[in-house]
Each structure stands twice: as C-alpha cells, then as structure tokens.
Amino acid sequence: MSQRVYNFGAGPAMLPTEVLEEVQQEMLDYQGHGASIIEISHRAPPFLEILEETEELFRRLSGLGSSHALFFMHGGAQMQFSAVPLNLIARKERQTAVYLITGKWGVLAEKEARKFGSTEIAVDGKSFDYRKIPAWQGTLNPETSYVHLTSNNTLYGTQWQKYPETGEIPLVSDSTSDILSRKVDYSRFGLVYAGLQKNLGPSGLALVLIRKDLLGLALPQTPKLLDYQLADEQRSLANTTSVFSIYVTLKMLRWMEKQGGVAVMEQRNQEKSQLLYEVLDGSEFYHAVANPGDRSICNVTFHLPDDKKENNFLEQSLKEGLYALKGHRDVGGIRASIYNSMPLEGVQALADFMRDFEGREG
Ligand SMILES: Cc1ncc(COP(=O)(O)O)c(C=O)c1O
C-alpha cells in the first residue's frame, strides 16, 4: 500500500487512520453478523443502534440539549439551501429571510431561498472579495422569518468570531466547515446544518439541528424528503438513509471523544492554524487572504507572488506528501484545510516546507 499523505483537501477531507482501519476490519463481518453494515437493513437493530449512539454522542460532544431535534438528510449541505427556506420561510406571513453573505456558499444559499420567498441581504462581503466578515449592527424587521449565515467560509478562510444577536428571530447557520471544530453553543441557533464531509465523515448527508418549536412550518409544496418535521418523526429514516455515512460518522465522533472532546479539538485547531499564520505573518513572500481579525482555524488561505511560484509550491509540496493544497478556483492560491483529523505533525510539516520553499524561491 502506498504511504498515506497529509491531505489538506477542503472536503471530502481526511479521516483519522484508526477510523479507516476499523472500517476496513469490519467490512466483511460487522460484529459477527456475517455481513458488512452496508449490507444490513437500515431498520435492523445493528444500524438502529448506530443511529442512536451517533445522536447521543453528538449531543454529548456538542452539549446540545433536548430543545433541538437532530437528524440526517440527503443531499449534503447544498440541499439544505433549499430545505431551509422550504421549512422556515413561512414562519412569518411576509415570507422574507435575511441573508448575511460572507462568501460563495452564502451567495448560493440566498439564491436558492429566493425561489421560495423573499430575501434581504443585510451583510455582503463581496466588495472585500470576502476577505473579511463585515460588521453588522443593523436592525431586523421583527417579521423576518429567519437570519442565515455561513459560520466558516471554506474558500477564503474566514470565520465568524462572534455571532450576531437576532433576538426572537431564529439564526440559521451553515456550519459545514467548522462543526465541532470549536466550542459553540448550538442551542442559541434556531437551526444548524452541516454537510458531513469535513469534520464528521463521508460526503452526501447533512446533519440538521433544529429548535423543536420550528418544526411543522414547511410550505405545502415541500418535497417529502426535505420536510424537517417528517425527518424528525421518522428519525432520519423517511427512506433508506446513507448507512455508511452515519456508520463512519459514529466512528469519527467516538474518535473525537477519545481525544478529549471538542475543547481539545479547538485547542489543537488553534495551535495548528497558529503555526501557519505565524509563517504568513513573518513573511513578505506569502500573502494571507483572510483579514487577521476574521481568520479561520479550519482553512488557512494564502497567495504566493505569482502563478509560477504557486505551481512550483504545489508540485514540490506534493512530493513531500502534502496533498491537495490548491486553493479553490474562485480564490486561487493555496488553501490548507486543517480540520479535526489533520494531526499537528501534518501542519508542522507544511509550516517547515513553507519556510524552506521561501528560502529557496523567495
Ligand atoms: C460552508 C459550505 N457550505 C456548503 C458546502 C456545499 O456542500 P455540499 O457539496 O455537501 O453540498 C460547502 C462545501 O465545501 C461548504 O464548505
């Protein structure tokens, strides 16, 4: 088998080797059932136990209480761009939602919401090329159905440091790229959703946390599989769910707990990101994308002086086992995604490589 690389890809992202090894070991025979988990009914006890433990463990790790329902839905994060307005826009008669746009995913979420109601854009980071999170102290019309933001902007490496106060109006967060990467009081949100493929497991599903009083508000045309109330009532099993994704997510959550939980994840993510920001701040050669006050602990983004140097950087880093560092096509440059599974040694190897590269080519 070829040696495993340090995978800095933004998602699907790397998973801990021990999680993958366990999956590998169980593939022919899941706990004496003589079949793998992906060959067993999603309604049979082995999977129902997995589903139950996944929910319990997420609640324990995140501190989420019984005020919120928790379930999985198909279609990754972008399906939630449709599900959110379908389920929440009718909360108020005006059927208007406010979007705080701090990057491309927010742009797409707002565009989708416009199909089902009206939207207002209260914050738009476009004029800053999304390098910073604009301050927002605006007032909200009390007849607003919800306020939507993206907690971590995967492409640019910015992250909300302090969430806005929206009073009675439910705050909705696309937390795809920073779920469980730091301590967050999720109970203050009306709704949180996250595609699994960065901090939790394989791609394809989204985890949804919703305050229970917000269930049952879906527009009549809401497709069955996007209806939050039904997803809650059916405990993620309105149809055949992605058994494999939830099975791996449980292993990932167990791994996080074994490491010491979210507080330890946060401390490590701070430490890892700091290593890279230190290199960037001490250099005239590298240029960080994100405004210092809005920097993400999950995605670190930067440019080199020109395309040729960036290409050399990517080529040479790959030879050192530092994989998938190319920035998103909208931003260019380099992006190091350093989610929970990325070990400190991987980030240290990247920081060392950056210093060496600057020494050679700077
Ligand atoms: C913040 C955020 N939202 C949404 C998405 C889209 O996720 P999906 O491909 O699961 O629809 C991504 C993917 O990278 C993301 O980072």
Q: What residue ranges do the domains of the chain occupy? A: 18-259, 260-361
CB atoms within 10 A of CB 204: 18
pLDDT tens for 244-274 read 999 999 999 999 999 999 999 999 999 999 9
pLDDT tens for 316-330 read 999 999 999 999 999
Q: Give the Å distance between the CA of 174 and the centre of ligand 1.
A: 8
pLDDT tens for 129-180 read 999 999 887 899 999 999 999 999 999 999 999 999 999 999 999 999 999 9
Q: Give the Å distance between the CA of 122 and the centre of ligand 1.
A: 22
Ligand 1 pocket test target in 82, 152, 155, 177 with most atoms within 8 Å of CB: 177
Q: Is 177 in the pocket of ligand 1 (CB under 6 A)?
A: yes
Q: Is 106 in the pocket of ligand 1 (CB under 6 A)?
A: no
147 forms bridges with which residues in the sheet?
98, 171
- The pLDDT assigned to 120 comes to 98
Q: Tell me whether residue 160 is one of the annotated catalytic residues.
A: no
CATH architecture of 18-259: 3-Layer(aba) Sandwich (3.40)
Which residue type sits at 224?
Answer: K
d(CA 138, CA 150): 18
Q: Which atom of ligand 1 is nearest to the CA of 79?
A: 11
Spell out the residues 6+ positions from residue 12 whose beta carbon is closer than 8 angstroms to its own.
197, 202, 203
Q: Is 195 in the pocket of ligand 1 (CB under 6 A)?
A: yes
210 forms bridges with which residues in the sheet?
69, 191
For residues 204-210, average pLDDT: 98
Q: Give the Å distance between the CA of 45 and the centre of ligand 1.
A: 32
If you average pLDDT over every residue of the chain, what do you get? 97
For residue 321, count CB atoms less than 10 angstroms from its CB and return exposed for 0-12, middle for 13-18, buried for 19 or more.
middle
Confidence band for 356, pLDDT divided at 50, 70 and 90: very high
d(CA 117, CA 60): 36
Q: How far is CA 243 from the centre of its chain?
A: 20
- CATH classification number, 260-361, choose in 1.20.900.10, 3.20.20.70, 3.40.50.10490, 3.90.1150.10: 3.90.1150.10
Q: Is 11 in the pocket of ligand 1 (CB under 6 A)?
A: yes
Q: What SS3 string covers 188-209?
A: HCCEEEEECCCCCCCCCEEEEE
- The pLDDT assigned to 202 comes to 96
Given a contact cutoff of 8 angstroms between Cβ atoms, the answer to whether 124 and 148 are in contact is: no
Given a contact cutoff of 8 angstroms between Cβ atoms, the answer to whether 115 and 89 are in contact is: no
For residues 72-96, average pLDDT: 98
d(CA 5, CA 319): 10
pTM of the complete model: 0.98
Q: Tell me whether residue 319 is one of the annotated catalytic residues.
A: no
Q: Is 105 in the pocket of ligand 1 (CB under 6 A)?
A: yes
Place of tokens 């992605």: 242
Whether the per-residue pLDDT at 1 is higher than 50: the answer is no
Catalytic residue (one of 92, 104, 174, 251): 174
Q: Is 150 in the pocket of ligand 1 (CB under 6 A)?
A: yes
Catalytic residue (one of 105, 160, 272, 326): 105
pLDDT tens for 109-128 read 999 999 999 999 999 999 99
pLDDT tens for 33-58 read 999 999 999 999 999 999 999 999 99
Residue 11 zone, left/alpha/beta (φ > 0; ψ -120 to 50; rest): left
Q: Give the Å distance between the CA of 176 and the centre of ligand 1.
A: 6
Q: Give the Å distance between the CA of 316 and the centre of ligand 1.
A: 28
- The pLDDT assigned to 137 comes to 78
- The pLDDT assigned to 2 comes to 62
Catalytic residue (one of 104, 132, 198, 326): 198
Q: Tell me whether residue 136 is one of the annotated catalytic residues.
A: no
Determine phi and psi for 6, rounding to 5 degrees: -85, 110
Cα–Cα nearest to 101, from 122, 85, 118: 122
- The pLDDT assigned to 201 comes to 95
